[in-house]
Amino acid sequence: MSRANTAQAKPRMSASTKWMLLAVALSVVMAGVCFTIVALLPAPESEGRFKDPLRSLLTGLGVLGVALPFCLAGRLLKRKSASSPYFEGTFIATVLNVIGFVCLAVGLACILLGGYDWVVGLLEPETLPR
């Protein structure tokens, strides 16, 4: 028997798995950067609501970066447990999908409110040219 026949081949990751891992890593890094920038920004001067659009936009991007891993994990677990007669895998996949959906909704709400604040800030009467 030759040595080449006895060596076991190492399993390789598929291209889609590599892209998913890359997407998850980039989203987590993006979330960390956004939350770090929000933490380092100086406190807003005004105490009113919707007065800091940059902070709101960065928070929304950070929350969207948190949502992606939950959505992908739920999708993969649901696909993996589809053939199983037990419900636990599907239940956990559903919980992960719901968490991802809530994070997605909160992130989009932060981004939309930040955009609204930016537009309202541009259209305030004292800032309009006369």
Instruction: Name the region of 62 (left: φ>0; alpha: ψ -120 to 50; beta: rest).
Output: alpha
Pair 50, 22: CB distance under 8 Å? no
Place of tokens 């659009």: 53
Do the domain assignments include residue 8? Answer: no
**Predicted TM-score of the model (pTM):** 0.75
User: For residue 71, what are the domain limits?
Assistant: 15-42+50-127
Do the domain assignments include residue 58? Answer: yes
HSE-up of residue 88 (Cα within 13 Å, Cβ side)? 1
Tokens representing 121?
Answer: 């800030």
Number of domains making up the chain: 1
Do the domain assignments include residue 89? Answer: yes
Pair 58, 37: CB distance under 8 Å? yes
What average pLDDT does this structure show over 34-59? 81
Do the domain assignments include residue 30? Answer: yes
Q: pLDDT (tens digit, 9 = 90+) per residue, 82-102?
A: 787 888 888 898 999 999 999
Q: pLDDT (tens digit, 9 = 90+) per residue, 21-40?
A: 898 999 999 999 999 998 88
